[in-house]
Structures are given as structure tokens and as C-alpha cells.
Amino acid sequence: MSPSTESGSIDWEYAPAPESEAIGRVKDRYLPFIDGKFIEGGGDDLVTINPGRGEPLSTVSTVDEADLDTAVRAARRAYEGPWSKLSGAERGKYLFRIARGIAERSRELAVLESLDNGKPIKETRDFDVPTAAQHFFYHAGWADKLGHLGYGPDPRPLGVAGQVIPWNFPLLMAAWKIGPALAAGNTVVIKPAETTPLSALVLAEIIADADLPPGVVNVVTGAGDIGAALVGHPGLDKVAFTGSTAVGKQIQQTLAGTGRKLTLELGGKGANIVFADAAIDQAVEGIVNGIFFNSGQVCCAGSRLLVQEPIAEELITRLIERTETLRVGDPLDKNTDVGAINSRAQWNKITELTQAGIDEGAQVWRSSCPLPDKGFFVSPTIFTGATQTMRIAREEIFGPVLSVITFRTPEEALAKANNSPYGLSAGVWTEKGSRAMAMAARLQAGVIWDNTWNKFDPASPFGGYQESGFGREGGPAGLAAYLDTDDEAVIK
């Protein structure tokens, strides 16, 4: 748009720049994928919503317990039949094909994911979809090199993996789960979240086009009851879950005594710690990325900002100025920084916790960026004057809401950062490498970033401590979770 000079002053407002919805090729109805075929499920259809508009997007046939049983049996046959008899190099070829299939359909997947989840197109296009492809490429490379992982000369797969994934990174979480499972020689039954099933079903099309033997990957659709039935199915050898801590605990109970291998990737309340010597502008960018990426609906979000007192005022002022420039709105608009919240239920949870912060006496600042009339949107929100006891400082909000707490000494920062039942992510901003290392050694978090945030790589293990779960995804440690080793929790 050319700047308007009608009133004498230049108007630098962005014009809308929406990506075409047609690129997403959204169908009226989708079917679950079992034993190499898209079948009519025995459950009731579910309607998936476009959170950017708060309107129905498509309909999905869901499975019942009999279909689930069919899927687990198909996965077992595929495991005992073709899949476990293939060489690692042959398995790798299939994984490379899937990676290329994702790359080939990347524009479609980016639009579809944005429509079904509500996250901005620039995130799906530049992060979710390419990182999903990268995970398959990475694991394809390992498939014929498992003997070099450090788990013995010929580590064996486990068998059939049951996997349940959440709605915040639907395609990427499917890739995180399916890639290592197949590379290690397992077969899979995976359930996407009820509110975001579409990209996993397009991934199933890509998998079918890659000519994967029937039953190696099965995508079952449905709500939490189907997730519970899947993880409790006696035909599984391994369960992998990403989602809430409450459900993770239930799954741990269900699996106790079964001997099945389990990995849990649960919630978090990441502490982003900024020392007075940090490069402030760089830290501000990292803080913004840490809490407003995917509207804060990220398990490793930097949702607690711990800032050293001498720079607190200046940092908060600059942070607010920067946050005010974020554009909230249509997820398909290429200029949108902060998209929609995934569901009405999540919107309600964020709103309730934000109100709790106000009621408990923290000072609230909200971006003045206008919100769309329709859809589930929350203004970027920053609470200052938060104390350790407030709900906004303790509970996972899973929204674009930051709680700022101050500290004086490194000891105080450590005590505050570690004062959480979670332990997934943390970050340290300081000019001194020695200080970053000393902090990292004592922070109770599975992932610690130094002068950055949200850096992911398929080669780098990701996972938590305490109520953030156990087991790692990514890298050799992530493959171990799908191999017969003794390194992961097995509840016998």
C-alpha cells in the first residue's frame, strides 16, 4: 500500500495481506486412516472450528472402540509383517518420502493448519510445516544407523506405539511422534486433538502417497475418551503423550504395572531470567517471542519474566512499547503476529486466569491493538508486580499473558525460577557466559536457552522434569524412547 498523505501526515498502516483460503483445500468431511485406508468411523462426526472466525471449518468422522481395536491390530500386523523385516535403509526411504511429501504440500498444510488451529500463517509457513518436514528428514537419516546411537550394536524397536497429541502444534507434534517411532522400527496409532484433527489427516494422505505398508501409521480421530481408550489399549508396547499434566497423571496411573514404556510431555511455566548486564533490545525480542509466539499456547512458553531490579523499569517500558507494535488478528493475514486462541474453552481459561491476576492485585497492561469482531482473540497482556503466590505466577495460562517478577541476586532468581511444580524450559539473558552456565547448571528445566528463546532442532532433545513429564523427544535421546533400552521410565 502506498502511504496516504491526505491529511498531510503519512499513514503507514498495513493493508490486509491475506493468504488465499483456497490453498488449504479444506474438504467438507475427513475420515480416519486405518490399515492403509480412509474409513468411515463408528463414532459420531465432530465439527472442527476455525478459531479465527469462531465458525465451523469442516466435519470429521470419528472412531469408536471397535475401530481403535482394528487400528491397533493393523499396527501389530504391520509391525510383525513387513515393517520389522525391512532394513533400516528401506525404512529410511519411506521417511524421506514423507518429508518430501510435506515439503511438496507445504503451502496447503500451512493454510490448513492456520485455519484449523488459529495460529498466524507466518508461523505455520515458517515454523510448523518446515520443522515437521525437518523431523522426518532427520529421523530418516538415523533409520539405518541405530547401532551408532550408543544403545548397543543392534537396538530393537518396541512394537506398536500409541500416541496422543495436543492442539497447539498439530502437524509438528505428529511429526515429533511419528518420525522417531518409524525410524526405530515401530508402528503407530496416533490420535490428534479434537479441535485440530485436519493436518494429521492430510499427513495420512502424504503417508498413503508414500506407499507406506498398510497399518504402519494409523490416524484415529475423536475426543479425550478415544485418547483414554487408546493409551489403555492392551495391544500397545509404548505410549507417548503430549498435553496437560492432569491427563498425563491419569495416563501414568493407567499404565502402572503394565510394563509398557511411557513418555510424557506436559505443561510448563518457563522462567525467562534477565540480568542487568543483558543486551536489552535483544532480550525484549526474546521475551516477546517467548510469550507471544503461538499466542503463548506453548508448553515451553517463557510465561514468567524474572528481571533484575536495576533494569526492571527500563526493560518493562521497552517491552510494552514493543508489544504494542504486535499485530493481532486474522490468522491468514501475512502481517499478523498474534493469531487466535485455539478454542472457546481455552479462551475462557485464559480470561479466567487473567481476571484472577487482576483480583489478586497485579498491575495489568493490555495491548491496544483492536481485536477482530469474530473469533477467539486475546490482547497481548503483561502483568507487573506479580508475586510468587499469585495464580498467574504459578499456573500455566497457555495464552498471551506474561507475569513479570523482579529479583536482586542470582540466588534469588534461581529460587524463584525453581519454585514451580513444572520444569520444562528456562532462559538466561546475560553478557557473561560463565553466569549463564552457572545458572543453567542449577535451573530445574529440561531445556535452557542462553540469550535466545524457542530454538528447536530435530537433533536436540526436548523434554521436562517434575510435572512437565519425562522422556525426551528429538536427537538420539528421543530415539531411545522408541527402542528397547533401560533409559526411560517403565512402570512395572
Is residue 173 within 8 A of residue 265, CB to CB? The reply is: no
The reply on whether position 219 binds ligand NAP by CB under 6 A is no
Beta bridge partners of residue 242, listed in sequence order: 265
Pairing of strands 55-60, 29-30: parallel
Among residues 210 and 340, whose Cβ is nearest to Mg ion? Answer: 340
* Nearest distance from C-beta of residue 227 to ligand NAP, angstroms: 2
Member of 59, 84, 106, 244 binding ligand NAP (CB under 6 A): 244
Binding mask 57-96 for ligand NAP (x = CB under 6 A): ----------------------------------------
From the list 269, 294, 285, the residue with the least C-alpha distance to 426 is 269
- Catalytic residue, candidates 194, 299, 300, 467: 299
CA distance 141 to 143: 6
Among residues 346 and 384, whose Cβ is nearest to ligand NAP? Answer: 346
Residues numbered 260 to 299 that lie near ligand NAP (CB under 6 A) are 265-267, 299
- Catalytic residue, candidates 19, 113, 265, 395: 265
Among residues 97 and 260, whose Cβ is nearest to ligand NAP? Answer: 260
CA distance 426 to 423: 8
Which residue's CB comes closest to ligand NAP? Answer: 227
* Candidate ranges 223-231, 355-363, 427-435, 484-492; the one touching ligand NAP (CB under 6 A): 223-231
CA distance 256 to 278: 46
The letter for the amino acid at 307 is V
The reply on whether position 218 binds ligand NAP by CB under 6 A is no
358 Cβ contact partners less than 8 Å away, ≥ 6 residues apart: 364
User: CA–CA distance from 155 to each of 94, 243, 479 (Å)?
Assistant: 20, 29, 10
Q: Is 265 a catalytic residue?
A: yes
Member of 123, 194, 330, 333 binding ligand NAP (CB under 6 A): 194
Is residue 116 within 8 A of residue 160, CB to CB? The reply is: no
From the list 26, 98, 32, the residue with the least C-alpha distance to 56 is 26
Residues numbered 65 to 124 that lie near Mg ion (CB under 5 A) are 116
The letter for the amino acid at 48 is T
Catalytic (active-site) positions: 265, 299
List residues near ligand NAP by CB under 6 A.
164-168, 191, 193-194, 223-224, 227-228, 231, 242-244, 247, 250-251, 265-267, 299, 349, 396, 398
List residues near Mg ion by CB under 5 A.
48-49, 116, 195
